[in-house]
Structure formats: structure tokens, C-alpha cells
């Protein structure tokens, strides 16, 4: 984390007038945005598999030819997750996609919010800074996903929620004064 906190390109300082603090904040937010973009794309696929596998029934079947037992896996259509596909979601087209999206949103806000809360509680602004820039990176990643129609803002997302979500995601990167007031 020291590399991100101490990052500076001299030509940006001299030619553009961008301070070392602003350069390091930008690089850290950009780093988290790239990592979160990859994690949310891959994580959504992984979460769907985990949720599906948790709600499949398994039964042992005796194989008479080899005198061994094997596990037969079948989809359990009576499970809550399977039935969720048939119901409208809050933010996505169906409740199954909402389960995946809300898990990703919870993880992203919990980690960043915990870092910021710890920074405030311990009076160590460096933790608040990392939490804030982590959240800013998440917001930049989400705005990119909206523009490029990547997960979850592609087919699954309800289009009527797009404008409120843009307003929500624009607010975090535009308030760096919160960090400056702590230092």
C-alpha cells in the first residue's frame, strides 16, 4: 500500500501541476477500479455456480455393473434459489440475479466501509483514505460497467434504475474533501 500512497510522476507535478497526493489518490482509485471490475465479472459467475450447487439434490445411486456407488446430482426445482428465477427482482430482471448482485454489493460496501470506520475510530486517516479510495474505485468500476453494459448493468439490470444509479455513483468520486478534512 505504500507504493500507492507515495506514488508520483514528476512530469505530472511539473507540467500539469498535479500534487503527489492527488496523483497517488488517483492511482489507488484506478487500481481498485480495475481489480473490482475483474472481480465482479468473475465473481458473479462463481457466485451463480455456488448458489446453484448449494441448491441441488444429491443422491447416491448403486451401479449394478461395477458394484460401486456414484453420486447423481439433479436440479432441485423446489429450492428457494430455483424458484427465485420466476420472480421479478428489485434491481435485476429476476430475483436470482438480485441474489448475486446483492452479494457483490454487500462485499464491496462492507470492506470499504469497514476500512473507513476503522480509520475514524482509530483516528488513523490512512485507513480512512484506503477505504474511501477503495469505494471510489468501486464506483468508477460500476460507472464503467454501466457505460459498457457489463455485468450487472447489461441485460439483467432494470433500465429504469439507471439514472438513479448514475447519480449515486457520481457522488463518491466528487467528494474528496472528506479525506482532506481528516488530514
User: What pLDDT was estimated at residue 8?
Assistant: 72
Q: Which of 94-103, 120-129, 159-168 has the highest average model confidence (pLDDT)?
A: 120-129
pLDDT band at 110 (very low <50, low <70, confident <90, very high): very high
Which residues pair with residue 43 across a beta bridge?
Answer: none
Per-residue pLDDT of 59-92, as tens digits, reads 544 555 556 665 555 555 556 667 777 777 788 8
Q: Which domain holds residue 10?
A: 2-182
Whole-angstrom Cα distance, residue 21 to residue 96? 42
Q: Which residues contact 85 (CB under 8 A, 6 or more apart)?
A: 94, 95, 96
For 156, list phi and psi in degrees, rounded to 5: -70, -30
Crossing angle for the helix pair 125-148 and 95-122, nearest 10 degrees? 160
Per-residue pLDDT of 16-63, as tens digits, reads 777 777 778 888 888 888 888 888 888 888 888 887 776 655 554 455
Number of domains in the chain: 1
pTM value surpassing 0.75? no
User: What pLDDT was estimated at residue 100?
Assistant: 84
pLDDT band at 120 (very low <50, low <70, confident <90, very high): very high
Amino acid at each position: 500500500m505504500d507504493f500507492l500512497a507515495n506514488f508520483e510522476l514528476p512530469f505530472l507535478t511539473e507540467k500539469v501541476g498535479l500534487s503527489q497526493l492527488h496523483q497517488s489518490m488517483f492511482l489507488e482509485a484506478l487500481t481498485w477500479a480495475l481489480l473490482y471490475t475483474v472481480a465482479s465479472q468473475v465473481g458473479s459467475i462463481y457466485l451463480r455456480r455456488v448458489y446453484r450447487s448449494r441448491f441441488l439434490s444429491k443422491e447416491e445411486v448403486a451401479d449394478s455393473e461395477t458394484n460401486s456407488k456414484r453420486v447423481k446430482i439433479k436440479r432441485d426445482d423446489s429450492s428457494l434459489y430455483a424458484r427465485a428465477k420466476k420472480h421479478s427482482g428489485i434491481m435485476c430482471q429476476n430475483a436470482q440475479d438480485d441474489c448475486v448482485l446483492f452479494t457483490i454489493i454487500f462485499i464491496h460496501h462492507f470492506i470499504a466501509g469497514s476500512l473507513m470506520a476503522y480509520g475514524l475510530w482509530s483516528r488513523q486517516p490512512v485507513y480512512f483514505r484506503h477505504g474511501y479510495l477503495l469505494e471510489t474505485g468501486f464506483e468508477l468500476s460500476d460507472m464503467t460497467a454501466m457505460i459498457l453494459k457489463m455485468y450487472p448493468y447489461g441485460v439483467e439490470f432494470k433500465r429504469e434504475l439507471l439514472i438513479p444509479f448514475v447519480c449515486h455513483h457520481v457522488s463518491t468520486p466528487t467528494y474528496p474533501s472528506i479525506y482532506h478534512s481528516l488530514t
